[in-house]
Structure 1
Amino acid sequence: MGVAAATILKTAVIFLCVFSGDAKFETFTRSYHTFNKSLESLANSELVFQNDAKVSQDALQVTPDSGNNNAVYDLRNRSGRVMFRKRFNLWDGDATTNTTVASFNTSFLVNISPVNGGIPGEGLAFLIAPIIDIPDNSDGQYLGITNQTLDNQTNNGIVAVELDTVRQPFDVDNNHIGLNIHSIRSVVSKSLTPLNITLAPTTPAFHNIWIQYNGSEKMIRVYIADQPEKTSLTPPMPETPIIEYSLDLKQTVHQESYIGFAASTGTLAELNCVLQWNITVKHFAGPKSPLPTILLAAGIPVVIGLLALAGYLGYRIYKKRQVDRSKSNILSRLRTLPGMPKEFQFRELKKATNNFDEKRKLGQGGYGVVYRGVLPEDSAEVAVKWFSRESLKGEDDFLAELTIINRLRHKHLVRLLGWCHKNGKLLLVYEYMRKGSLDMHLFTVTDEPLSWTLRSKILAGVGSALHYLHYEYDQKVVHRDIKASNIMLDSNFNARLGDFGLARALDNEKTSYAEAEGVLGTIGYIAPECFHTGKATQHSDIYAFGALLIEVVSGQRPGTKVNGFQFMVDYVWSLYREGRILDAVDKRLADDYDSEEAKRFLLLGLACSHPIANERPKTHAIVQMLAGSMAVPQVPPFKPAFVWPAMMPIDDLSQATSIDTTPLSISQYETDWSPLSRENYSSYTDRSMV
Structure 2
Amino acid sequence: MHSEIAFDAIQVTPDVSGSPITNLSGQALYKRPFKLWSESKGTASFNTTFVFRITPRTDPGGEGLAFILTGHATRPENSEGKWLGISNASTNGSAQNQIVAVEFDTSKSYMEDLSNNHIGVNVNSVYSIKQENLSINLSSGTDIIVKVQYDGKNLSAFVGTQMKAPAIVLPINLPDHLPQKVFVGFSASTGNHTQLNCVRSWEFSGSSVDEHPDLLWVWIMVPVTVLVSGAAFYFSLKRKCGKQEEEEDDPRVEQQIQRSSTAPRKFRLKELKAATENFNSKNELGKGGFGTVYKGFLKNKEVAVKRFSRNSHQRKQDFIAEVTTISNLHHKNLVKLVGWCYEKNELLLAYEFMSNKSLDKLIFCKKSDVENPITLNWETRYGIICGVAQALDYLHNGCEKRVLHRDIKASNILLDSDFNARLGDFGLARIIQLSDQTHHSTKEIAGTPGYMAPESFHTGRAAVETDVYAFGVLVLEVVCGRKPGDQSVNNKYNNGIVDWVWEYYRRQRILDVVDLRLKGVFHKEQTEYALMLALSCCHPNPYQRPSMRIALRVLTGEVDPPVIPIEKPPFVWPATPPVSFSEDLEYPPTGGLLSPPSELIGR
TM-score bracket for this pair, using the shorter chain length:
0.5 to 0.7
Q: 2:332 corresponds to which residue?
A: 411
Shift of the 480–683 alpha-carbon distance from structure 1 to 2, 3 Å rule, reads farther
**Kept in 2: contact 1:387–1:425 (CA 8 A):** yes
Look up the match of 1:372: 295
216 and 589 in structure 1: CA distance in 2 versus 1, 3 angstrom threshold: farther
Write the distance in 2 (CA, Å) between the matches of 1:475 and 1:24: 42
TM-score (norm 2): 0.56
Please report the TM-score for the alignment, with normalisation by the length of structure 1. Answer: 0.49
Note the C-alpha offset of 1:510: 2.9
| 3-state secondary structure, aligned to 1:526 | coil
Describe the superposition over 1:188-223 as per-residue Cα deviations: whole angstroms up to 9, x where unpaired.
xxxxxxxxxxxxxxxxxxxxxxxxxx7849xxxxxx
Deviations 1:289-343 (A, max 9, x none): xxxxxxxxxxxxxxxxxxxxxxxxxx99x945xx24x1x2122222211132111
How far 1:568 sits from its partner (Å)?
Answer: 1.4
**Which residue in 1 is equivalent to 2:351?**
430
Q: Is 1:516 the equivalent of 2:437? A: no
CA displacement 1:419-478 (0-9 Å, x = unmatched): 001022111110010001111111112465211010001000000000000010111100
Which of residues 567, 576, 585 in structure 2 aligns to 1:689? 585
- The unaligned stretches of length 5 or more in structure 2 are 1-31, 50-67, 70-172, 177-205, 214-242, 368-372, 587-603
**Letter of the 1:332 counterpart:** Q
- Alpha carbons of 1:636 and 1:319: their partners in 2 closer, same or farther (altered >3 Å)? closer
What is the SS of the residue equivalent to 1:435? coil
SS in 2 for 1:583: helix
Q: 1:495 aligns with which of 421, 433, 447?
A: 421
Deviation of the 1:355 alpha carbon: 1.0
- More helix, by proportion: 1
Does the CA-based 8 Å contact 1:635-1:684 persist in structure 2?
Answer: no
Partner of 1:600: 529
The aligned residue for residue 647 of structure 1 is 576
Unaligned runs of 5+ in 1: 1-20, 28-87, 101-213, 218-249, 258-314, 649-681
Q: CA deviation at 1:362?
A: 1.3
Matched position secondary structure for 1:569: helix
Structure 2 residue 501 is the aligned partner of structure 1 residue 575: no
Change (3 A) 1:683 1:353: farther
Q: Is the 8 A contact 2:318 2:428 kept in 1?
A: yes
CA distance in 2, matches of 1:433, 1:600: 29
Is this contact kept in 1: 2:37–2:175, CA < 8 A? Answer: no
The answer for the alignment partner of 1:590 in structure 2 is 519
CA pair 687-574 structure 1, distance change in 2 beyond 3 A: farther
Structure 2 letter corresponding to 1:255: E
3-state secondary structure, aligned to 1:465? helix
2:211 to 250, 255, 259: 255
Q: Please identify the structure whose Cα radius of gyration is greater.
A: 1
1:385-423 deviation line (CA, Å, top 9, x unaligned): 111256993221111110000010000000000000102
Residue 361 of structure 1 deviates from its aligned partner by 1.5
Q: Please state if 1:442 is matched with 2:334.
A: no
Letter of the structure 2 residue corresponding to residue 449 of structure 1: T
Query: Aligned partners of 2:561, 2:270: CA distance in 1, in Å?
Result: 52
Give the deviation of 1:22 after TM superposition: 8.2
- Structure 1: 4+ residue segments shifted above 4 A: 21-27, 88-100, 214-217, 250-254, 389-392, 682-687
The 2-side partners of 1:336 and 1:621 are apart by: 35
Q: Is the 8 A contact 2:291 2:312 kept in 1?
A: no
CA contact (8 A) 2:34 2:208 kept: no
Q: Aligned pair in 2 of structure 1 residues 438, 26: CA closer, same or farther (>3 Å)?
A: closer
Residue 361 of structure 1: aligned partner: 284
CA contact (8 A) 1:480 1:503 kept: yes
For the Cα contact (< 8 Å) 2:36–2:43, is it kept in 1? no
1:404, 1:505 within 8 Å by CA — same for their partners in 2?
A: yes
CA gap 1:24/1:579 in 2 versus in 1, 3 angstroms: closer
Cα distance in 2 for residues equivalent to 1:380 and 1:416: 13
Q: What secondary structure sits across from 2:306 in the alignment?
A: strand
Aligned length: 369
Q: Give 1:610's aligned residue.
A: 539
Q: Deviations over 1:6-56 (max 9, x none)?
A: xxxxxxxxxxxxxxx9899999xxxxxxxxxxxxxxxxxxxxxxxxxxxxx
1:545 maps onto 2:471 in alignment: yes
Mapped to 2, the partners of 1:684 and 1:559 lie a distance apart of: 34
Q: 1:453/1:331 Cα in 2 relative to 1: closer, same or farther (>3 Å)?
A: same
Q: Does residue 274 of structure 2 align to residue 351 of structure 1?
A: yes
- What are the within-5 Å matches in structure 2 for residues 165-176 of structure 1? none
Judged with a 3 Å threshold, the aligned counterparts in structure 2 of structure 1 residues 26 and 597 are, in CA distance, closer, same or farther, namely: closer
